[in-house]
Structure 1
């Protein structure tokens, strides 16, 4: 029986498609490294409604993540739009169900990092990235950012931080990812994959 190829899990929540596009760009960076695949997954929205109101498979876009996707990954890229300087509740809800993985140490020693998108230029990108790292540290993961050796960090006029990729979507019609933002996403994915290989 063939064994599954090692993969980096690119796990995100997106409302308007900007964070989803970042996930695609990060996956492109991962694909530049031989020996690892990119597995893109999302999470469903949550609401105060206590009844299940969504089908188990989304109508479009990436499949919903399972805990097995997370448990068996070689590394993790975690993405969310900002919500008052924090990750969106659907992603936090998913992470809140991973206590058994924390207890078993399933993610300890694996590389991980975060990415985000905001409507306003100073809308909490850095605090969102930093607060997203807290549960990753609790899981014992090794944090990955984007070093300033990536020149796009110094050239961007939109998103991009050393804490992880970011995108400025704007408050009207969402802006497409800039070339610098795409480059930073791909650099992040490639760096995460290279770290995963070194840490395996």
Structure 2
């Protein structure tokens, strides 16, 4: 089985819920599996504020996860139209993989959640794409052949799967949000397998 890394940071559960659906889409593709990882919280005072091993949920990401996986999906909640600090902090520390070309030629996609309908989903998704482009990754979105993109009244963008959580941070995904996240995972896995086979 070839693995695709699903890496996320989630504050109140919405991005984690999206990550689970992206991972499901990956698992639906024969020969592909999702490796789900997260990043720890950070503080502006002392940076690392979490134990080395999370109390629950998936393990924290390590550089070897990037090396061993054939594709990458990253997710973060929106912070004023940008990715959250914990995800940015992790990405900022990837000078070694950048120099070594660890991610060059691998496909990637992004996903996010906001409290409001117009809370910066698309700018956050674009902000997460920028470091991936610097790493030489092949960034993928969601095509409009996915019918839910035209009918959704909640989350879902051509830049990546998304969720509108509301002011209370509700992690419950709509049917369209679920469908688009699954479609994103499936599309990423299919592309990653095709590219990996071409390199073999």
| 1:41 aligned partner | 37
| Whole-angstrom distance in 2 between the partners of 1:52 and 1:156 | 38
TM-score of the two chains, using structure 1 as the length reference: 0.95
Q: Confirm whether residue 191 of structure 1 aligns to residue 155 of structure 2.
A: no
Give 2:155's match in structure 1, choosing from 135, 156, 159: 159
| 2:113 aligned partner | 117
| Whole-angstrom distance in 1 between the partners of 2:192 and 2:111 | 17
Alignment check: 8 A CA contact 2:75 2:112 kept: yes
**Divergent runs of 4+, >6 A:** none
Question: How many matched pairs?
Answer: 196
Give 1:50's match in structure 2, choosing from 46, 50, 54: 46
Q: Indicate how the Cα distance of structure 1 residues 173 and 70 shifts in structure 2: closer, same or farther if over 3 A, else same.
A: closer
Q: What SS does the corresponding residue of 2:37 show, helix, strand or coil?
A: strand
| Whole-angstrom distance in 2 between the partners of 1:51 and 1:114 | 24
| 1:70 aligned partner | 66
Q: Indicate how the Cα distance of structure 1 residues 151 and 99 shifts in structure 2: closer, same or farther if over 3 A, else same.
A: same
Q: Which runs of 5+ in 2 are unaligned?
A: none
| Whole-angstrom distance in 2 between the partners of 1:51 and 1:120 | 28
| Whole-angstrom distance in 2 between the partners of 1:145 and 1:173 | 25
Q: What SS does the corresponding residue of 1:159 show, helix, strand or coil?
A: coil
Q: Confirm whether residue 136 of structure 1 aligns to residue 94 of structure 2.
A: no
| 2:55 aligned partner | 59
The alignment's C-alpha RMSD in Å is 1.2
Q: Confirm whether residue 15 of structure 1 aligns to residue 11 of structure 2.
A: yes
| 1:28 aligned partner | 24
| 1:89 aligned partner | 85
TM-score of the two chains, using structure 2 as the length reference: 0.95
